Structure 1
């Protein structure tokens, strides 16, 4: 028993010992579990906090971006509104500072457009605000510099003046030809709406004086066998007269030979008409419109000097006449023109053309037949055409207007109406 007891005791003791170890182990396990639980709790808490912080950062960033964008949009709107208000204030200031009565007056004086004048006035106002000294001289200088066709800013042609959009009216303008020559001449803007440049006028100062002083478009040296070809005024580079007196004397500027044109226009204007009335008193106006001048160098000097010379006794009658070009009437008509011709000459010409170089029965060359062409086989050219060469055999045919005023009773049916005789032929380029 004792032995068994002892053994059981020993066993129990062993059990107790074993239990005691298990208890210690359990205690240790419990302690370890607590530590693990504590650690796990701590880690979970930190993770949650980390996740929460991440969300907060995103929300904060979005809020900041939204705030910045809002400020930017507000700033742009504020700038735009301020700018619009400033523009409106400036426009009101401009309206108050621009003298529109003066603008209208300057339009009439300078032929500048209202837009150009308003811009000029604004420049003057800006100069005043900047305390820059301005004066009447400065104003005149600005106007001249802006005016195409002024002495300070010559145009290349009358047509250029219309192309820059100026408020133009017929009158005198300054032009610069292809060679750099500056000259003043008459511009027409009314007939077709674009610009036509007056380059010459043919004026007969004395119908009874055959190739005498003043007959520059034929010969001032008489019907001279030693000077049979005339003075060559249609072909050469001589200039004469002024546009102001173009209806009272011969006129030719450098544009006649140093400008390029596509077409020509002819006006018939009563002698001694003042420049301001050239347009209103012209009883015949017609023009070419097919660009024929480009085939002959772009001007009449080239046409005559390089293509259709004007010589006496050099050409065949009827066969060596130069080209004729159809015309478009602006004032007048074929019927009206023919009514101004004698009945006999009516049978020798066709109206509605301009003929260049026509040869008469005495082999004298005539530069131009205004408004008509010579019919085939007809030779009495001197009654319808102008600008003869010199012909010693028939001095009565010699002169700027040749024998347009024939007064021989035998040939009275060849005479032209006095209205044509007492008027000047004006030649325009475009």
Structure 2
């Protein structure tokens, strides 16, 4: 490939816009950018960074803020588990790496389906709604929308009640509990401790996307533990450990480690629960039986947008 061909392709991949915007919504509304892809944005304080913009769904303007990617299910809370902890399961670090509530960023937008990703947009943008795509690992960004196994978003402006972003939401709904529940009725205790939940709108895709498709991905024993058609934050399990979010469902039971992701740095049942995808392999990796999720679900990154 010639130098000029390489330069042309590079310019096509990352879109530089004169007067860098704060969000993809601003690019869409004020600069009439119509194509989804990698763009340059700027924080309130002028730091420029790359992220992905979805300019199509529900009018477009969605900014990619993070991805949760499980690279090794057996590596419980070790290197790579940035959304729980890379320090190992410990009572001394109940908050883990605190990436849900700090200003650290990591990964790249292009690599969001290959590794964990967190951009400055996560804490910098003030938004109203959230969008989630479950995209197969290693998928390239131009194919994300068409290859996603699930796509949905909220339409109730719930983030306005939580400071406008996930950073502020998790600052209030802390993930550092990690204490075994001592009350007699643990089910009642943990369900009361569950954080807020909001209904979702399924998006059209290359496959049917609805409540039934959500149930198809989680283990059948979890069916009575959740209601599909929602997204929930800070669910708490029987042992008192808090996950970050249940993606596509709202917990009505307490075995949330089998269908929720992320969390703090301490899980009482460490060898079974600690990790970004927690205990989705409880009865075998990707077998889709008992408590185990399907391989298709485990091997897909959960990518998070706001608008």
Tell me the TM-score normalised to structure 1 length.
Answer: 0.63
User: Residue 277 of structure 2 is aligned with which of 372, 377, 401?
Assistant: 401
Pairs aligned (count): 283
Query: Counterpart of 1:390?
Result: 265
| Superposed CA RMSD | 2.2
Q: What displacement does 1:353 show?
A: 0.4
Alignment of 1:352-363 (within 5 A): 352-363=229-240
Higher RCO, Cα 8 Å, sep 6+ = 2
Q: Is the alpha carbon distance of 1:154 and 1:165 closer, same or farther for their aligned partners in structure 2, counting shifts above 3 Å?
A: closer
Q: Which whole-Å CA distance do the structure 1 matches of 2:71 and 2:178 have between them?
A: 27
Contact 1:202 1:250 in 2 (8 A): yes
- Classify the secondary structure of the residue corresponding to 1:219: coil
Query: Counterpart of 1:414?
Result: 291
For residues 30-69 of structure 1, the C-alpha deviation after alignment (integer angstroms, 9 at most, x for no partner) is: xxxxxxxxxxxxxxxxxxxxxxxxxxxxxxxxxxxxxxxx
Larger radius of gyration: 1
- Classify the secondary structure of the residue corresponding to 1:318: helix
2:113 corresponds to 1:209: no
Alignment of 1:344-355 (within 5 A): 344-355=221-232
Runs of 4+ displaced beyond 6 Å: none
Contact 1:406 1:412 in 2 (8 A): no
Q: Which whole-Å CA distance do the structure 1 matches of 2:251 and 2:292 have between them?
A: 16
Contact 1:212 1:221 in 2 (8 A): yes
Contact 2:34 2:56 in 1 (8 A): no
Structure 1 unpaired stretches of 5+: 1-105, 112-148
Q: What displacement does 1:166 show?
A: 2.6
For residues 79-113 of structure 1, the C-alpha deviation after alignment (integer angstroms, 9 at most, x for no partner) is: xxxxxxxxxxxxxxxxxxxxxxxxxxx9xx889xx
- Classify the secondary structure of the residue corresponding to 1:424: strand
Q: Which whole-Å CA distance do the structure 1 matches of 2:44 and 2:22 have between them?
A: 8
Query: Counterpart of 1:181?
Result: 47
Contact 1:186 1:197 in 2 (8 A): yes
Q: Which whole-Å CA distance do the structure 2 matches of 1:110 and 1:233 have between them?
A: 32
Give the number of the structure whose residues are more often helix, by fraction. 1
- Classify the secondary structure of the residue corresponding to 2:139: coil
Q: What displacement does 1:228 show?
A: 2.2
For residues 197-250 of structure 1, the C-alpha deviation after alignment (integer angstroms, 9 at most, x for no partner) is: 001000001001100100000000111222222111111111001101000000
Query: Counterpart of 1:39?
Result: none
